[in-house]
Amino acid sequence: MGERFASVPDVVDRLRSVDYLSDESIAGVVYLADRLEKPVLVEGPAGVGKTELAKAISAVTGARLIRLQCYEGLDESKALYEWNYKKQLLRIQADREHESDWAEVEADIFSEAFLLTRPLLEAIRAKEPVVLLIDEVDRVEVETEALLLEVLSDFQVSIPELGTIVGQQRPIVVLTSNNTRELSEALKRRCLYLHVDYPDVERETEIVRVRVPEIDAELADQIARVVHSIRALELKKAPSISETIDWARTLLYLGKSEIDPETIGETLHVLLKYQADIAKARKELGAQTAAAS
Q: Which fold has domain 8-80+118-195?
A: Rossmann fold (3.40.50)
CB burial of 107-123 (b: ≥16 within 10 Å; e: otherwise) equals eebbeeebeebbbbbbb
Tell me the per-residue pLDDT of 152-182, one tens digit each, with 9 for 90 and over: 888 888 888 888 888 888 899 999 999 888 9
- The pLDDT confidence band at residue 102, using thresholds 50, 70 and 90, is low
Return d(Cα 246, Cα 204) in angstroms, integer.
Answer: 13
Q: Are 101 and 88 in contact (CB under 8 A)?
A: no
| pTM score | 0.87
Tell me the per-residue pLDDT of 228-247, one tens digit each, with 9 for 90 and over: 999 999 999 999 999 999 99
Question: Which contacts qualify for 65-68: CB closer than 8 Å, 24 or more apart?
Answer: 65/130, 65/131, 65/133, 66/119, 66/122, 66/123, 66/126, 66/130, 66/131, 66/132, 66/133, 66/171, 67/119, 67/133, 67/135, 68/118, 68/119, 68/120, 68/132, 68/133, 68/134, 68/135
